[in-house]
Chain A
Amino acid sequence: MQRHRLIPLLPLAGIILVLPLLFPSAYYYRVAALVFIFAIAALGLNLLMGFAGQVSLGHAGFMGVGAYAVAIGPSHLGIAPLFSFVLGAVLSALLAFIVGRPILRLRGHYLAVATLGFGVLLTIVFTNEAKWTGGPDGMAVQQMLVINWTVRRISTWYWVLAVSFLLSAVIALNLIDSPTGRALRAIHDSERAARVLGVDVAQKKLAVFVISAVYASVAGSFFGFINGYVTPDVSGFLRSIELVAMVVLGGMGSIVGSFVGSAVLVILPQALTIFHEYEHAILGLTLMAVMIFLRRGIVPSLSAVLGGTYK
């Protein structure tokens, strides 16, 4: 009998449930909320990179679409925040569908540079369309409103985001253990073999690109909501690199790894502020050390050391 596909999430759900009991202040809720948000984006990127083997260095661009959707929708267009949130996801999917077709024909480094260009392009649009986006200074985001319930307190956001993250993880795990997921993993190893076995490689790549764009968009919208404002930095190149680093650090192809990668890269910079000007140097060194000693990423490597098959 095979182990149920959702079992890896149980310990994570347990931790998420207990964690708030240990939080001494609102600041901790905020950090945890950020971890969930980036974990959602990293999860989506992991489906694309870790499973299907297609790199994207512009994924924060879709975070930008999600963030600006919840900023522009309610303030400029009078669209309800919740609906703007959905609209952002739809828009991201559409955008991914359009650019994905030509871009995903490229492989390896060429795909990396093309996606990088896409991310940069979106950042330029967000910076220059000042009438809509407030330009480089950004713009305010109204609070999330679900019918007549406003999500205001950060502790409420903690639970909303925790549930959203777990749902995202369930959907990701569903996909992996399905005909589509198997085909994606096959594409990672050999596109030619996948094709002669009947897998429509171009269609599968496009599907996972669209899915991962929706993940990023959802994360971007949440990011806008909890910050209360949005600037073009949300879709910037550094943000995209950060997402890639989260996926690789936590473990390519590991769902729990995306959470761990996000946690490390959100919490570590906060924790290292005690080192003042050495903060970035220590952060860099830590990442290098982790990749040298846990080269398959934190979760898969530690799991292998402990003799398990936890993914």
Chain B
Amino acid sequence: MTTLAAERISIAFGGVRALDGVSFKAAAGIVFSIIGPNGAGKTTLFNVISGLCAPDDGHVWLGGEDVTALAPERLARRGLSRTFQNLQIFSRLTTLENVMIGRHRHESTGLVADLLHLPVVDWQNRLTREAALKALARVGLGAMAQRPARGLAYGDLKRLEIARALATEPAVLLLDEPAAGCNPTETNNIETMIRGIAADGITVVLVEHDMRLVMNISDHIHVLANGHTLAEGDAATIRANPAVIEAYLGAHNAASEPASAVR
């Protein structure tokens, strides 16, 4: 089991401090949620953790190792994978092939073997296909395996992204708004799925706007506003925190003071 920790992460984009000294620690095997109003820096934090952008300052720790600004593919090999808020599906590939890409880090044929199609490639392809089918079945997309991915419904694409990330066999899984745009039934399915993933000992880090989902499944919640940490704690603590309530109400009320000023 692996813990994920961020230490005083700061990053600015053209003078705007998207993240300012954000720290957190997600214990192994828990569901850790990051919430906050739009523009709070949640996705930026995800991008920093997953290596897609390097922070100006601060560190990311994965299982006790400093992995700050390590390339995403290296992080994937160390057991960190993620999904995207705006879907990043391989639309020319079939549903199954999408998940097979998730197995890439477990594939061991070399380029020469691939070019000559040595017997090891057949063996590897079969292994990859079986593992990918398992991951697909787990999110309930087994029947869609041979369909072109671009033909899938939105809710199915969300699950496909999760299956693909699961296929990498991550220790830490970052889910960026898995329930966005989903109807209540689909959201319930995703809730069950996340519980199952956490039960397998995978640390789930979740960014989500659906508060009912967040409050239901989170072991720990971290609230961001304007790039700062606003509050953290379990669901009950967060629900009762006046600054959090203010930040969310303030987000709807342009005339109010910045949420951080309320404290």
Q: Which residues does A use to contact B, with CB under 8 Å?
A: 5, 171, 174-175, 177-183, 185-186, 188-190, 192-201, 207, 211, 253
Contact present for B91 and A189 (CB under 8 Å):
yes
Given that A185-B90, A190-B90, A197-B164 are contacting pairs, would A174 and B115 also be in contact in the complex, using a CB cutoff of 8 Å?
yes
As a 0/1 sequence over residues 86 to 112 of chain B, the CB contacts with chain A under 8 angstroms (1 = contact) are: 001111110001101110110101010
Contacts A193-B88, A201-B73 given; 4 further ones with Cβ under 8 A? A179-B107, A182-B104, A188-B92, A193-B90
Given contacts A192-B84, A197-B164, contact A186 B90 (CB under 8 A): yes
> Smallest CB–CB gap between B78 and chain A, Å?
10
Residue of chain B at shortest CB distance from A200: B73
The distance in angstroms between the C-alpha atoms of A18 and B184, with both chains bound, is 62
Bound-complex Cα distance A200 to B100 (A): 15
Any chain A CB within 8 A of the CB of B159?
no
A196–B116 touching, CB < 8 Å = no
Picked from A174, A190, A198, the residue with its CB within 8 Å of the CB of B104 is A198
List the A residue with the shortest CB-CB distance to B121: A178
Contact B124 A179 (CB under 8 A): yes
Docked-complex contact A190 and B125, CB < 8 angstroms: no
**CB distance B114 to A178 under 8 Å?**
yes
User: B71's closest neighbor in chain A, by CB?
Assistant: A195
Instruction: Report how far A182 CA is from B71 CA in the complex, Å.
Output: 20
A198: which of B76, B88, B93, B97 is its contact (CB, 8 Å)?
B76
Q: When A183-B104, A196-B50, A199-B101 are in contact, do A178 and B125 touch as well, CB less than 8 Å?
A: yes
A179-B128 CB under 8 A given contacts A190-B88, A197-B102: yes
- Contacting A at CB under 8 A, from B29-79, are 50-52, 71-73, 75-77
Residues on the B chain within 8 Å of A199, using CB: 73, 101, 104
- Sample 6 A-B pairs with CB under 8 A, ordered by A number: A177-B117, A179-B128, A180-B114, A185-B90, A192-B72, A196-B72
- A65: min CB distance to chain B, Å: 20
Contact residues in B for A181 (Cβ distance below 8 Å): 114
Contact between chains at B84 and A174 (CB < 8 Å): no
By secondary structure, the B interface counts as: helix
Residues in B with CB closer than 8 Å to A174 are: 114-117, 121
Query: Residues of B at under 8 Å CB distance from A?
Result: 50-52, 71-73, 75-77, 81-82, 84, 88-93, 97-98, 100-102, 104-105, 107, 109, 111, 113-117, 121, 124-125, 128, 164-165, 167-168
Closest to B82 in A: A196
Q: How far is the CA of A264 from the CA of B72 in the complex (A)?
A: 43
Given A183-B101, A196-B50, A198-B73; A207-B88 close (CB under 8 Å): no
Q: In the docked arrangement, what's the CA distance between A179 and B131, Å?
A: 14
B107 touches A189 (CB 8 A): no
Q: A85 to B51, alpha carbons, bound, how many Å?
A: 43
Q: Is the CB of B89 within 8 A of A171?
A: no
Contacts of A183 in B (CB 8 A): 101, 104
For the complex formed, measure the closest distance between the CB of B93 and the CB atoms of chain A, giving whole angstroms: 6
B-side contacts of A198, CB under 8 Å? 73, 76-77, 81, 102, 104-105, 168
Residues of B within 8 A of A200 (CB): 73
B100 closest partner in A (C-beta): A182
Known contacts A195-B71, A198-B77, A186 near B114 by CB under 8 Å: no
CA distance A178 to B76 in the complex (A): 20
Min CB–CB distance A242 → chain B (angstroms): 25
Within the complex, the shortest CB–CB distance from A197 to chain B, in Å, comes to 5
CA distance A207 to B77 in the complex (A): 20
**CB nearest to A179 among chain B residues:** B107
Query: In the complex, what's the smallest C-beta–C-beta distance from B145 to chain A, in angstroms?
Result: 12
Q: Give which listed residue, A175, A179, A190, A207, contacts B89 with CB less than 8 A.
A: A190
A201 to B101 CA separation, bound complex (whole angstroms): 12
Given A177-B117, A179-B124, A192-B101 contact (CB < 8 Å): no
CA distance A151 to B50 in the complex (A): 57
Which residue of chain B has its CB nearest to the CB of A53? B92
Chain B residues closer than 8 Å to A193, beta-carbon distance? 84, 88-90, 101, 164
Separation in Å of the A114 CB from the closest CB of chain B?
22
Pick the contact of A207 from B98, B104, B109, B111 — CB < 8 Å?
B111
